[in-house]
Structure 1
């Protein structure tokens, strides 16, 4: 049963990104590029707000991290839908590079669901950088047009982030949240403790 009191203010900012999907799809359907772009900007802005509030109010939780990740992924998908509809010429001209970055991302999602049964919530530094670049590029393209150095940077960082994400999935046999990156994972007790437990149980 859904209980409102279970969710804090940071969670509701994450929920906004999910609940905004029908509205964004309606703007796409009716060809309202300007409204779509402004509301997509609001969705991207809530990503920064919920993380800030969670840390500031010390209400970070596994549930909140998962909601944040789902909200991020849905917002990215909506951004891509917007580009396919409103910037089809750019998408066709650069579909090779876009697929080069997007296919590994889908693979990472599949691996996460197979191993964890849900999406990851590592929130690495590289993931945050990649998400920022994606948001800035998509919004800039929709508002003003393409900036190719930003596009290429976004693709490179996105591929590196996906490789790191897949590596972390295999480093952590159980779901964990908030891992800064591979360097920090190597020293993370959550990974080593799990290994000892698995070995002790003879699995």
Structure 2
């Protein structure tokens, strides 16, 4: 049974990105490019808001991190759907580079689900940078047109972020949230199953 009282205000901003999917799909279906882009902008904005609120109100949780990750992935997929429909020529002209970034991203998700049974929520610095670049590029393309230096930067950072994400999946035997990056992971005792068991036993 779905209980509203289980979720805090930051969680509901994450939920917005999920609940907005039918609206965004409807706007794509009816060819409402401008409205779609504005509502996509709102979805991207909630990504910044939920994280800020969680930290400001000290309500950071594993559930919230997971919701945030799911919302991010859904928003990215909706952005790509918008580009396929509204920027078909751009997507056709650059499908090779897009697949270069997207296929490893899908592979990373599959590896995470096989190992953890759910998506990762590392929220590394590189992941946050990649998400910002993706959002800025997609929105700029839909509002104004392509900026190729931003496109190439987004692809490079996206590939590097995916490589880091896959590396972290293999470094952590159990699902964890909020890892700043590989450098910090080497100093994180959550990487060992022993430390996890000790914490669960209160040692």
Instruction: Pick the TM interval, shorter chain.
Output: over 0.9
Q: Given the superposition, is the C-alpha separation of residues 196 and 112 from structure 1 closer, same or farther in structure 2, using an over 3 Å criterion?
A: closer
Alpha-carbon separation, structure 2, partners of 1:133 and 1:164? 17
What is the RMSD of the two structures over their aligned residues, measured on CA atoms? 1.3
Alpha-carbon separation, structure 2, partners of 1:196 and 1:5? 29
Q: TM-score, normalised by structure 2?
A: 0.95
Q: TM-score, normalised by structure 1?
A: 0.95
Q: Given the superposition, is the C-alpha separation of residues 100 and 56 from structure 1 closer, same or farther in structure 2, using an over 3 Å criterion?
A: same
Residue 189 of structure 1: how far off its partner (Å): 1.4
Aligned: 1:188 with 2:195: no
1:7-46 to 2 correspondence within 5 Å?
7-46=7-46
Aligned residue number for residue 201 of structure 2: none
Structure 1 unaligned segments of length 5 or more: list them.
Answer: 199-203
Structure 2 unaligned segments of length 5 or more: list them.
Answer: 199-203
Aligned residue number for residue 64 of structure 1: 64
Q: Which runs of 4+ in 1 moved over 6 A?
A: none
**SS of alignment partner, residue 119 of structure 1:** coil
**SS of alignment partner, residue 22 of structure 1:** helix
Aligned residue number for residue 145 of structure 1: 145
Aligned residue number for residue 5 of structure 2: 5
Residue 194 of structure 1: how far off its partner (Å): 3.7
Aligned residue number for residue 167 of structure 1: 167
Residue 191 of structure 1: how far off its partner (Å): 1.1
Aligned: 1:107 with 2:103: no
